[in-house]
Amino acid sequence: MSNYWPALVLGLLAGAIALVYLQRRQEKTERRRRFEAVWSDREEARWLISGEAENKPGSRNLLRDAAQQQSIALDLRRAGWSHPKAQGIYTTAALFCPVIGAVLGLMWGTLSGDGIKNVLTTAFFGFGIGYLLPPRFLRWRAGKRQKAISEEMLPILHLLRMLFDAGLSLEHSLRVITEQGRELAPEMTKEIALALARINAGQERADALEEMAAPLQVPELDDTVAILKQATRYGGSLRESLARLISLFEERRLSSTREYVSKLSAKMTVVMILFMFPALMIFLAGPGFLSLARALGKVF
């Protein structure tokens, strides 16, 4: 019987964790349903918009869940996962990753032959890693994609300038970029394709471009969209504005490169002190210390 107690503990703990998470998921679904029911009624939703929200029972949970869902949706949008089922997939992964982590920790501890305390400790650490992994990964993915879009903006501006010089309109230029610039700027062409889909559906070009840039929060993209909106609504020379914007982005990239090089030189100094300086001292002062040691050895 003693040989089966790890499997028994594993099954009981996994079942308990699964039940807790299913209960929490059911509670979140119920709160979200109540929130949508309240929000759909204009009269009932006034206390959510006004400052009376904190005085209502259960309002903090509703507002907190709404803010959490909005934050997750924004991170998914920045990460490039704007599919309607993306948020449901992420929520499912966030629910089951801690369970999977705890089960893997229990299996690792059981197969290693540790005691019950070490097995439970390993399961706890697996649970914590599984709990922290999905939001960390999502934010890492969103930040990486934001950086990629920022780096792709300079080639996109050069392409826009060339297409405007060729006599193409803004919408036609964006369409050409989405069709022929995928290898040069893959992430940015996806966003431009979404904006073009909104424009084809009847939305104004300025509004479609603004909705494309607002969730991403990339400064270069925001500046470009601001210039395009101004030219779309009020007219003006886009060629000169894009030329000034390109020079500004090039100066920013040059300054960031200089900052990176200065930081890299400081890091290389630390590396030289830790690794090269001891080797240099051994190479230069080593013979002298050996001679001194031999001389002292003869004296004593």
Confidence label for 40 from pLDDT (cuts 50, 70 and 90)? low
Between CA 194 and CA 211 the distance in angstroms is: 10
pLDDT digits (tens, 9 = 90+) for 252-299: 888 888 888 888 877 888 877 887 877 877 877 777 777 877 877 776
Which residue reads 């991403």 in tokens?
216
Mean pLDDT of 116-133: 82
SS3 3: coil
Residue 153, sorted as left (phi over 0), alpha (psi -120 to 50) or beta, turns out to be alpha
What's the confidence (pLDDT) of residue 41?
52
Mean pLDDT of 24-43: 58
What's the confidence (pLDDT) of residue 1?
44
What's the confidence (pLDDT) of residue 185?
87
DSSP state of 180: H
Between CA 245 and CA 220 the distance in angstroms is: 9
Between CA 3 and CA 113 the distance in angstroms is: 11
What's the confidence (pLDDT) of residue 125?
85
Confidence label for 224 from pLDDT (cuts 50, 70 and 90)? confident
Contact (Cβ atoms closer than 8 angstroms) between residue 76 and residue 137: no
Average pLDDT, the chain: 77
pLDDT digits (tens, 9 = 90+) for 146-191: 999 988 888 888 888 888 888 888 888 888 888 888 888 888 998 8
> pTM for this one?
0.69
What's the confidence (pLDDT) of residue 53?
47
Confidence label for 10 from pLDDT (cuts 50, 70 and 90)? low
Confidence label for 211 from pLDDT (cuts 50, 70 and 90)? confident
Mean pLDDT of 56-76: 68
What's the confidence (pLDDT) of residue 137?
93
DSSP secondary structure string, 201-241? TT--HHHHHHHHHTTT--HHHHHHHHHHHHHHHH---HHHH
Domains defined for the chain, CATH in brackets: 5-142 (no CATH), 147-252 (1.20.81)
Mean pLDDT of 204-228: 86
Mean pLDDT of 122-144: 88
Distance of alpha carbon 38 from its chain centroid, rounded? 32
